[in-house]
Amino acid sequence: MTEDLNTRVENAAQGITPQTKPDERRRFLGSLRERVLVRMDNTEVEKPELTTTFLEHFADYRDYSILINGNLSGEFLDQIEAKCGQYNVPFTLVNNETARTGAQDTAVLVVAKTAINKMRVEIGQVYPPEMPKMELGQSKEKKSGFWHRLFHGGH
């Protein structure tokens, strides 16, 4: 225990502060999972339906800030930057060791300043695709069951 205390005192004297949850911070571009509203990984930013969904919901991000993987480039990055200006949403390009390029690594995060503890943060979970709607007047073709055929003689 005194060894641990001595290490902490030495680190404090050198200006080294221990970081909480380093693995989690590496996954979430330096932020914590408890602060994330929406997350997109490096493969999702290549899917037009998901990037469109992200951009369509930009008004939802007004009270948040956006962290962008510094290795991200292209039209989607330009669109995010333009929307941030339009909606006055602060953003940061993250270019440190947390900005990884693997398929499942984080590309874009919408984060709060404090913990919000959202259960689902992946883009497809936060904004699930809508089910196709039936037009008014359309009806599903009903299959007649055994009892209906028996009593009504229908097919």
Residue 143 lies in a domain: no
Q: Tell me, yes or no, whether 128 lies in a domain.
A: no
Q: What is the pLDDT of residues 40-54, one digit of tens each?
A: 999 999 999 999 999
Least reliable range by pLDDT among 4-8, 35-39, 100-104, 116-120: 4-8
Residue 47 lies in a domain: yes
Question: Is 114 a domain residue?
Answer: yes
Structure confidence at residue 6 as a pLDDT band (50, 70, 90): confident
Structure tokens given for 4: 């641990």
CATH number for the domain spanning 60: value is 3.30.1330.30
Q: What is the pTM of this model?
A: 0.72
CB 25 within 8 A of CB 31: yes
Per-residue pLDDT of 64-113, as tens digits, reads: 999 999 998 889 999 999 999 999 999 999 999 889 999 999 999 999 99
In a domain, 147, yes or no: no
Residues 6+ apart with CB under 8 A from 8: 18
For the chain, the maximum distance between any two Cα atoms, rounded to a whole number of angstroms, is 91
Print the domain residue range for 48: 21-123
Instruction: Please give the tally of structural domains in the chain.
Output: 1
